[in-house]
Amino acid sequence: MRTIAIMTFAAAAFIAATPVAAQETVSQENGSPWTGFRVEGLAGYDSARIQSDNDGGLVYGVGVGYDFQTGRAVLGIEAEATDSTRRGCTTDFIFINDAFCARAGRELSIGLRAGVLVSPRVLLYAKAGYTNARFNVDYDDGTPAGTNNFSYNQNLDGIRVGGGAEFRVGGNAFVRLEGRYSNYEFGGDRGQIVSAFGFRF
């Protein structure tokens, strides 16, 4: 997760250092082609910290947003809803043959992004915002009766930062590759690398 966080901040620093004058002129023939409402589907790798399990999972979901282009700059607001297959378990937690498991559930986020057009079809951007993630916890005491079994959900507030590149692929369609890092209350965190496909209207 530290690697993902470093990549994210490096992308943001690169965007901030991008010269105002680029080699390729951003076309204005169609006005501001990066302005408008957008919808997208996304999927990628999730490395939420769960127990001592270092394996990752799949994150998937949908997002919406609105961008406004002014010259080479693109500013936007976005919201996202995702779920994850990320799960981790610890056995013999209290008693022999018992199991304590946690799963990363749905996550809702909203934030702002700012980017620079490095060509008419390529946007580099950084983002930051609020996120709320649900984690599901289950305990199985390992006995047929299951007297001590329990389960509960916990919602954690946090901050998400990220960065990436978006590419116009014809008409109003776009693809996007993004790395992001979330830090939650009580010390939880996660890193994700996602790709998205969507349309701007």
Confidence at residue 15, expressed as pLDDT on a 0 to 100 scale? 44
Mean pLDDT of the chain: 84
Confidence at residue 109, expressed as pLDDT on a 0 to 100 scale? 98
Confidence at residue 30, expressed as pLDDT on a 0 to 100 scale? 54
Confidence at residue 104, expressed as pLDDT on a 0 to 100 scale? 87
Taking residues 49-57, what's their average pLDDT?
A: 65
Higher-confidence residue: 24 or 67?
A: 67
Q: What is the CATH number of the domain that holds 56?
A: 2.40.160.20
Q: How many domains does the chain divide into?
A: 1
Summarize pLDDT for 5-46 with one digit per residue, the tens.
444 444 444 444 444 334 344 444 457 899 999 999 999 999
Degrees (nearest 5) of the Cα angle 179, 180, 186? 155
Confidence at residue 74, expressed as pLDDT on a 0 to 100 scale? 97
Higher-confidence residue: 152 or 161?
A: 161
- Looking at mean pLDDT, say which of 19-28, 46-55, 69-78 comes out highest: 69-78
Q: Are 160 and 131 a contacting pair, CB within 8 Å?
A: yes
Which of 2-16, 22-36, 61-75, 139-153 comes out lowest in average pLDDT?
2-16
Q: What is the full DSSP assignment across the chain?
A: -HHHHHHHHHHHHHHHH--SS-SSPPP-TTS-TT-EEEEEEEEEEE---BTTB---EEEEEEEEEEEEEETTEEEEEEEEEEEE--EEEEESSSSTT-EEEEEEEEEEEEEEEEEEEEETTEEEEEEEEEEEEEEEEEEE-SSSS-TT-EEEEEEEEEEEEEEEEEEEEETTEEEEEEEEEEEEGGG-EEEEEEEEEEEE-
Taking residues 91-114, what's their average pLDDT?
A: 89
Give the domain extent around 132.
2-200
Confidence at residue 54, expressed as pLDDT on a 0 to 100 scale? 56
Confidence at residue 120, expressed as pLDDT on a 0 to 100 scale? 94
| Alpha-carbon span 183 to 169, nearest angstrom | 33
The residue type found at 103 is R
Taking every pair of C-alpha atoms in the chain, what is the biggest distance, in angstroms? 71
Nearest Cα to Cα of residue 93 among 138, 147, 145, 152: 138
β-pair type (150-170, 57-70): unpaired
Residue 52 pLDDT level (bands cut at 50, 70, 90) = low
Q: Are 57 and 87 a contacting pair, CB within 8 Å?
A: yes
Residue 2 pLDDT level (bands cut at 50, 70, 90) = very low
Confidence at residue 147, expressed as pLDDT on a 0 to 100 scale? 85
| Alpha-carbon span 181 to 5, nearest angstrom | 6
